[in-house]
Amino acid sequence: MRADGSVTWESGANHVMTTPLSGVGNVNTSWQY
């Protein structure tokens, strides 16, 4: 999924909003997936 990039960005966009509230930890989890 990381190779595609486009897929990661779509999911990341949604997580970006919750990331600041929850923390950077969520961002790392999304990248691994």
Q: Which amino acid belongs to residue 23? A: G
What length does the chain have? 33
- Give the pLDDT confidence score for residue 20 in this predicted structure: 53
pLDDT in tens, 1-33: 455 554 555 555 555 554 455 555 555 555 555
Please, are residues 18 and 26 in contact by the beta-carbon 8 Å criterion? yes
